[in-house]
Each structure stands twice: as C-alpha cells, then as structure tokens.
Amino acid sequence: MGRAVAAAAAEHNCRIVAGVDLVPAQADFPIYTNIDDIPVKANVIIDFSHHSAVEKLVPYAKKTHTPIVIATTGHNEEELNMINKLARTVPVFYSRNMSLGVNLLINLCRHAALVLGEKYDVEIVEKHHNKKLDAPSGTALMIAEAIKEVRGGAEYVYDRSKARHQREQKEIGIQSIRGGNIIGEHEVLFCGNDEIISIQHTATSRELFAEGALRAAEFVVTKQKGFYTMKELLQEAGRDTAKV
C-alpha cells in the first residue's frame, strides 16, 4: 500500500516528504525506521502499516500537531482509545476501508436494513487473500455496525457449527474466506421469504485504497481537531456535487 500511495500521490498534486518502514526499501523519498528521526514536518500522515504502529504515530502526531489518516485494521481497545484521545487535539481521519465504493455500499446497506426491516435475514460474506491476518475483515465489521445502527439488539454470528438450532431473527451472519491473492470482496445478502437482495463490492486493485487515502488526506488537512470518517467525506463530496 505504501508503494500504491506513492504512485498515486503525483496525481493529487501531493509530494511525499518521507516514509517509515521497519525495513526501508528503495524509493524517491527518504525512508526511516523511526518516525521521530524524520527531520521535516509533513502536512499530513497516512498510515497503512499495522495497528500497533499507533503507539509511535499518536505521540508523534500530537507532538508535531500533524493531521493523520489511519487506514489500518485490527486495532484493540487500548489502541482505539489512543486514537480517540488524539482527536481531541489533532484532526484524525479513521477508516478500516479507504475505498469510496465500499463506503457507498455501507450506506446502501444501512438504508436497505432500514427499509426492509427485520423480516429479512442478513448475511455478510467477505473474501481476502491468504496473507490477511484478521478475520472477519474490518470492512465486514463496518457493514455489520451500519446495519446494527438501524436494527437494535442485532447480534453477530461468525460460526454456526457449534450449536444446532435454527437461525434467529436478530442475527447478522458474518463469514470469512481466505485464499490466493483475492484483494477484497464483500457481499451483503438480505434474504426474505420470496426474494434475495444482494449488494456487492469487488476490489480489483490496491490503487483504489490509495486513491481513497489521498482523498482523505486532502479532506482532513483542512479540518480542525476532531474525529472524521468516510461518512463526513462523502457528505462533503455530496454537497460539493449538488452545487455543480
């Protein structure tokens, strides 16, 4: 993802001043193993590394008052608390999926859940490459959380092999598939008695995540301190479109 962001930066009139990696690679900009060694101040930080990186990134962003885009998944409760506290002093953009299309899908699923009601069973199926560490994906959880907003009392079910009973109405089923080099696929099924509605998104390259991250960087660098997500970015984009 670092290479994808670097490749897409020029199209956004952005210049990468430095990178951070445990094993520095060849690049057109200097790469450091420790963020505190970077001698220049950037306008914004984009993090596509590992959830544990916030332990270094949060103090640095706070010290330098640098807006940050966090695009990693798998944060534990302590790390999420660090991110939320940072947002009290620095603009923070957080999303477990940087695809604009995925976030539109999430909005569609939220609306579908509201319109269809609880008579429709919801199943989420996510597919990723065999190197992905977390399951279910952060995106699948984002989808489930959006549906749960309009379905009070919904419960996530990841595995039905341990209990023999029929599906309960309040369940949101989440299934994970890992194989090959699948970049990312998410399908949400709303299953009624007489029809099935399927909403699906397929990522065909990692460039779309880089594109979304750069859009997020352009968005958050203009904001005051606070916690921002794709929801706010899409709302602003919608308002700008309406003015055209």
Quick one: three-class SS letters along 154-192? Answer: CEEECCCCCCCCCCCCCEEEEEEEECCCCCEEEEEEEEC
Q: Are 78 and 54 in contact (CB under 8 A)?
A: no
Question: Residue 47 and residue 61: Cα distance in Å, rounded?
Answer: 11
- Can you read off the two tokens belonging to residue 16? 């990468």
CA 59, 62, 67, 69: dihedral to nearest 10 degrees?
A: 30
Residue 189: count other Cβ atoms within 10 Å of its Cβ.
Answer: 16
CA torsion through residues 31, 37, 41, 45, sign: positive
Query: Position of tokens 């008579």?
Result: 119
Which run of H or E residues covers position 147? helix 138-150
The residues pairing with 156 across neighbouring beta strands, listed in sequence order, are 172
| Active site positions, annotated | 128, 132
